[in-house]
Amino acid sequence: MDDSNLLSDFTFFLKEKKQEGIKIIAYLAHDNIPEELIDAAGFFPLRLIFGGSDELMDASHDYLPPSTCAFAQSCIGLFSIKPNYYKFLELVDYIIVSNHCVSDICVSEIISKYFNIPRLNFYVSYTKNENSLKYFKLELQDFRNQLEATLGKKISDEDIHNSILKFNNFKKKLLEINELETTGSEKLKLIHKSMLFGPDFLHDLENLIQKFKDTPQPVSTTSKDVLLTGCSIFINDNLIDLIEEGGGNIVFFDTWIGNHYYSQIIEDNHIDIEKDPLDLLVLKFKNNIYSDHSVPDFLKQKVSFIQKYSENYKKNKGRKLGVINHIIKFCDHISLMSSFLKDSLQEKGIQVLNLERDYSRANRGQLSTRIEAYLEMMK
């Protein structure tokens, strides 16, 4: 997928933000950062959702051993090389050091230290229960304080409420992408653009969704339907092309920039402006039950979600659904659970392809063969 246009548009967009005096706060791709607080402070949340390459991975080896996840390596590479389409990274004012996984900590810490970008901290407990929700609130409060210190003034509850509403509505719209009658790559383009531009893109997103609804683009009936779980396919990554060229079509993106994100939607009846807005953000975190960050029930939730989705899909569409578990090489969370996920789903009659890869070009042929073999077997 060539995303150079998207990146040029985004560069332009970000420059405009910068000219308006808006500060850019970057963070790694995952799913628990309270972007609403960043927005309420008047900053722009920049999610680093960019795929990698040999060159980017190599550029990280001064800082980290090559046995670090390929995405983390590439993030460092992006800040180190700043290739043409990524010059906008020069505009980043702060980076969030967070612990979605330990590579997330290392990478954001390295970006801060070696590329001179001040850091903000936001950490999340590994378990999800009453106490970790309470802890999440402590982190939110601390994060709010950090933002206020940077801003030099208080962030009002009202502004936080407004941002929560704004992002919540945005997520609801994003959710509609799943139902569109079009290819996975078209859906992914919409997801990428939305996640990059954020709610500023809502109006365009509404129009685009309407356009797809008005003129559906039916997908070839010979293609095999697939749910993508595990790691996301990021911007400028050709994996989706390989899947489509191999005869597959991703109908659902069950990843950080997909289901994990929509699952955080807060029900309207919970949004009470009298309430402490931080409690709403806690609720959002609580809703994110599919997050791979959490233990001990990630696998249980994941299996039950995929099973239900797959059964419903078969019932409603009359078609079988395959599952590709995308594992970015050396990803702690997704890799460690991959054999258990595969075994549990296969026990339930769902065929799974554990597709592990890094971003090197040399992989392409082997990836295609594996995808084709899997899709072939899916008949």
Partner 1 sequence: MSLVADEIITFSSVLRIAFNMLNGRNYLKRKKFRDKEKLVAVTLPFSDLAFAAGTVPVFPIRMHEFDISRYLSYLGSASSIFGWNAVSNFLSFTKNLGFEKVSKIVDDIIEDVIGTINYKYNEMYDVGIEAGISSDFCYGLKSLVGMHVTKGKNVDACLNVTIRCSAYNKYLESLKSINKAPKQIWIDIPPRNLGNSIELLTDNISNALNEFEKLTGNSITDNDLRAHFKIGNQVKRSYKNIIYDISASDFYPCNPATFSEIMALLSITFQDYNSNAVRYRDNIVSLEKEMRERIRKGVGMDVSKMPRIFVTPMFGGWEPKTHDIIYELGGRTLYADWELLKFLEEIPTAAHTNPSEEYARFLMRATETGIGCDNDKLTDSYLRMATDLNADGIIFFQLFGCHSISNCYAMLREKVRRELEIPITAITFNKIGDNVEQVKTRLGAFMEMFPKKK
Do 330 and 67 form a contact (C-beta atoms < 8 A)?
Answer: yes
SS3 track for the chain: CCCHHHHHHHHHHHHHHHHCCCCEEEEECCCCCCHHHHHHCCCEEEEECECCCHHHHHCCCCCCCCCCCHHHHHHHHHHHHCCHHHHHHHHCCEEEEECCCHHHHHHHHHHHHHCCCCEEEECCCCECCHHHHHHHHHHHHHHHHHHHHHHCCCCCHHHHHHHHHHHHHHHHHHHHHHHCCCCHHHHHHHHHHHHHHHHHHHHHHHHHHHHHHHCCCCCCCCCEEEEEEECCCCECCCHHHHHHHCCEEEEEEECCCCHHHHCCCCCHHHCCCCCCHHHHHHHHHHHCCCCCCCECCHHHHHHHHHHHHHHHHHHHHCCCEEEEEEEECCCHHHHHHHHHHHHHHHHCCCCEEEEEECCCHHHHHHHHHHHHHHHHHCC
The 284-323 contact track toward partner 1, x by CB under 8 A, reads ---------x-xx-xx------------------------
331 binds ligand SF4 (CB under 6 A): yes
We find the least distance from the C-beta atom of residue 100 to ligand SF4, in angstroms, to be 6
The 349-378 contact track toward partner 1, x by CB under 8 A, reads -------x----------------------
Q: Which does 65 bind (CB under 5 to 8 A by kind): partner 1, ligand SF4, none?
A: partner 1
7 binds partner 1 (CB under 8 A): no
We find the least distance from the C-beta atom of residue 145 to ligand SF4, in angstroms, to be 26
We find the least distance from the C-beta atom of residue 135 to partner 1, in angstroms, to be 5
Nearer to partner 1 by Cβ, of 78 and 303: the residue is: 303
Map the footprint of ligand SF4 across residues 333-362, applying CB under 6 A.
333-334
The 82-121 contact track toward ligand SF4, x by CB under 6 A, reads ------------------xx-xx-----------------
The 31-70 contact track toward partner 1, x by CB under 8 A, reads -------------------------------xxxx-xxx-
Map the footprint of partner 1 across residues 94-123, applying CB under 8 A.
97, 99-103, 105-106, 109-110, 113, 121, 123
| Number of amino acids touching ligand SF4 (CB under 6 A) | 14
Q: Which residue has the tokens 């982190």?
A: 139
We find the least distance from the C-beta atom of residue 318 to partner 1, in angstroms, to be 32
User: Residue numbers of the site for partner 1 (CB under 8 A)?
Assistant: 62-65, 67-69, 97, 99-103, 105-106, 109-110, 113, 121, 123-127, 129, 131-132, 134-135, 138-139, 141-142, 293, 295-296, 298-299, 329-330, 332-333, 335-340, 343-344, 356
User: Residue numbers of the site for ligand SF4 (CB under 6 A)?
Assistant: 28, 69, 71-72, 100-101, 103-104, 231, 328, 331-334
